[in-house]
Amino acid sequence: MPGKSQAHTDAVLNVLRGTNIIAPAGVYVGLFSAAPANDGASGTELAGNGYARQQVTFGAPAADAGNVRKVSNTNLITFGPATADWLQAVAFGIWDAAANGTLLYWDNLTTAKTVQNGDSAQFAIGALVVKED
């Protein structure tokens, strides 16, 4: 089930113990060919051939259906162009660093995306949504 990584869940729960969450200087979106799991089991992030995580900015939290709150990207996000075919992307992740770092959130893509040599992948403004309930 998509959501917060276990590390980020622990950081949020530690607020109840008086431990502040420190916001990262930037957050970055990446693509997975095999989705991770909330329990810390890592997925398989795309790599090489022109792929790199992209910095993302989010707007203020807004209401979604039920008691869910969401944020969405305020910038156009472009991966690529690919210098060779990439594995099919099936999920995205949000990290606190452009490389390595801690996975904060992840979710499955609505539609899997295969990026071929010379092609790019994009999230339009407002298309990348992270939800909390």
Residue ranges of domains in the chain? 3-132
Helix H or strand E segment including 71? strand 69-72
- Mean pLDDT, all residues of the chain: 93
Alpha-carbon distance of 82 to 72, in angstroms, equals: 25
Q: Tell me how far apart the alpha carbons of residues 85 and 117 are, in angstroms, rounded to a whole number.
A: 5
Per-residue confidence (pLDDT) for residue 91, from 0 to 100 = 96
pLDDT in tens, 16-64: 899 999 999 999 999 999 999 877 678 999 999 999 999 999 999 999 9
Phi, psi for residue 66 in degrees, rounded to 5? 70, -140
Residue with tokens 């969450």: 21
| Cis check: omega of the bond before 36, within 30 degrees of 0 | no
- Report whether pLDDT(9) > 90: no
- Which pLDDT belongs to residue 2? 67
The amino acid at residue 116 is Q
- In degrees and rounded to multiples of 5, residue 125 shows phi and psi of -55, 130
Tokens of 22: 């420190």
